[in-house]
Amino acid sequence: MKLTIRARLTLLYFVVLAASFLAFFWICDFGFRHSIEATVNDASQSNLDIVRRVVKNSLPQGVPKVKKELTELSELWANGAIFEVAGPDGEWIFRSPRFLLPQSPLPLPPASGVAFRTTNLDLQQYRIAQQSVSLDGQNFRINVAVPTEPFDQALDNFRVIEKRFLPLLVVLASLLGYWLSGRALAPVNRIIESAEKIGVQNLSQRLPVPKAEDELRRLTETVNAMLGRIESSVHRIQRFTADASHDLRTPLSLIRTNAELALRRPRTEAEYRETLERILGASEETTQLIESLLILARADVGAAQLQFGPIELTPLLHKAAQKAALLALQKGIVFSENIVPQPLPMFADAVATERLLLALLDNAVKYTPASGRVQLRSFAEGEFAVVEIEDTGIGICEDDLPRIWDRFFRADQARCREVPGSGLGLSIARWVVEAHKGAIEVSSRLGQGSLFRLRLPLLISAHARIDESEGQQQSTTAAA
Ligand code: ADP
Compute the distance between CA of residue 248 and CA of residue 227 in angstroms, rounded to an integer. Answer: 31
pLDDT for res 479: 32
Decide whether any atom of ligand 1 lies within 6 Å of the 372 Cβ: no
Query: What pLDDT, in 10s, does the model give residues 376-415?
Result: 999 999 999 999 999 999 999 999 999 999 988 998 877 7
Query: What pLDDT, in 10s, does the model give residues 156-168?
Result: 888 898 888 888 8
Give the atom of ligand 1 at the shortest distance from the alpha carbon of 364: 23
* C-beta separation of 466 from 310 below 8 A: no
Query: What pLDDT, in 10s, does the model give residues 185-217?
Result: 888 888 889 899 998 888 899 998 888 888 888
Q: Is the pLDDT of residue 316 over 90?
A: yes
In sequence order, which residues have a C-beta less than 8 Å from that of residue 462 and are 6 or more positions away?
346, 347, 348, 436, 437, 456
- 135 alpha carbon to ligand 1 midpoint, in Å? 125
* C-beta separation of 425 from 405 below 8 A: no
pLDDT band at 476 (very low <50, low <70, confident <90, very high): very low
Q: 210: which DSSP letter?
A: P
Please give the distance of CA 463 from its chain centroid, rounded to a whole number.
Answer: 35
Decide whether any atom of ligand 1 lies within 6 Å of the 425 Cβ: yes
pLDDT for res 358: 96
Query: What pLDDT, in 10s, does the model give residues 287-305?
Result: 989 998 888 888 877 756 7
What number is the average pLDDT over the span 363-377? 96
Query: What pLDDT, in 10s, does the model give residues 24-62?
Result: 889 998 998 899 889 888 988 898 999 999 999 998 998
Compute the distance between CA of residue 281 and CA of residue 287 in angstroms, rounded to an integer. Answer: 10
Q: What is the mean pLDDT of the chain?
A: 87
Q: Is the pLDDT of residue 177 over 70?
A: yes
- 296 alpha carbon to ligand 1 midpoint, in Å? 17
- Segment of 70-74, 93-97, 330-334 carrying the highest mean pLDDT: 330-334
pLDDT for res 324: 96
**DSSP secondary structure string, 385-448?**
EEEEEEE-SS---TTTGGGTTSTT---HHHHHTT----S-HHHHHHHHHHHTT-EEEEEEETTT
Phi, psi of 307, rounded to the nearest 5 degrees: -90, 95
Compute the distance between CA of residue 306 and CA of residue 279 in angstroms, rounded to an integer. Answer: 33
Decide whether any atom of ligand 1 lies within 6 Å of the 98 Cβ: no
pLDDT for res 159: 86
pLDDT for res 241: 87
Q: Of 271, 311, 289, which is closest to residue 408 (Cα–Cα)?
A: 289
Compute the distance between CA of residue 185 and CA of residue 134 in angstroms, rounded to an integer. Answer: 77
pLDDT for res 89: 87
Q: What is the CA radius of gyration of the chain?
A: 52
3-class SS at 113?
A: coil
Lowest mean pLDDT among 5-19, 100-114, 388-402: 100-114
What number is the average pLDDT over the span 83-87? 90
Q: Is the pLDDT of residue 234 over 50?
A: yes
pLDDT for res 274: 94
State how beta strands 449-457 and 384-391 pair.
antiparallel
What number is the average pLDDT over the span 329-351? 94
- 334 alpha carbon to ligand 1 midpoint, in Å? 19
Decide whether any atom of ligand 1 lies within 6 Å of the 396 Cβ: yes
Question: Which of 404, 408, 418 to probe ligand 1 with, by most ligand atoms within 8 A of CB?
Answer: 404
Please give the distance of CA 401 from its chain centroid, rounded to a whole number.
Answer: 39
Q: Is the pLDDT of residue 13 over 70?
A: yes
On the CB side of 159, CA atoms within 13 Å amount to 9
pLDDT for res 166: 84
Long-range contacts of 417-421 (CB under 8 A, 24+ apart): 419/366, 419/367, 420/285, 420/366, 421/366
Compute the distance between CA of residue 343 and CA of residue 316 in angstroms, rounded to an integer. Answer: 11
- 287 alpha carbon to ligand 1 midpoint, in Å? 19
Q: Is 81 exposed, middle or buried (0-12, 13-18, 19+ CB in 10 A)?
A: buried
Q: 214: which DSSP letter?
A: S
pTM here is 0.60
Q: Is the pLDDT of residue 277 over 70?
A: yes
Phi, psi of 449, rounded to the nearest 5 degrees: 135, 175
- 306 alpha carbon to ligand 1 midpoint, in Å? 24
* C-beta separation of 119 from 96 below 8 A: no
Phi, psi of 142, rounded to the nearest 5 degrees: -120, 130
Decide whether any atom of ligand 1 lies within 6 Å of the 365 Cβ: no
**Closest Cα to atom 20 of ligand 1:** 363
pLDDT for res 62: 87
Is the four-CA dihedral 342, 346, 351, 352 of positive or negative sign? negative
In sequence order, which residues have a C-beta less than 8 Å from that of residue 66 and are 6 or more positions away?
54, 55, 58, 59, 85, 93, 94
Lowest mean pLDDT among 252-261, 274-283, 336-345, 468-477: 468-477
Q: 471: which DSSP letter?
A: T
> Percentage of the chain with pLDDT > 90?
46
- 404 alpha carbon to ligand 1 midpoint, in Å? 7
Decide whether any atom of ligand 1 lies within 6 Å of the 391 Cβ: yes
Give the atom of ligand 1 at the shortest distance from the alpha carbon of 411: 16
Give the atom of ligand 1 at the shortest distance from the alpha carbon of 405: 6
Question: Which of 396, 419, 428, 448 to probe ligand 1 with, by most ligand atoms within 8 A of CB?
Answer: 396
- 410 alpha carbon to ligand 1 midpoint, in Å? 6
Please give the distance of CA 312 from its chain centroid, rounded to a whole number.
Answer: 47
Query: What pLDDT, in 10s, does the model give residues 422-457?
Result: 899 999 999 999 999 999 999 999 999 999 999 999
Residue 84 bridge partners (DSSP): 95, 143
pLDDT band at 475 (very low <50, low <70, confident <90, very high): very low
Q: Which residue has the higher pLDDT, 418 or 258?
A: 258
Compute the distance between CA of residue 131 and CA of residue 112 in angstroms, rounded to an integer. Answer: 7
**E strand map for 232-351:** 305-307, 309-312, 334-339, 345-348
What number is the average pLDDT over the span 93-107? 73
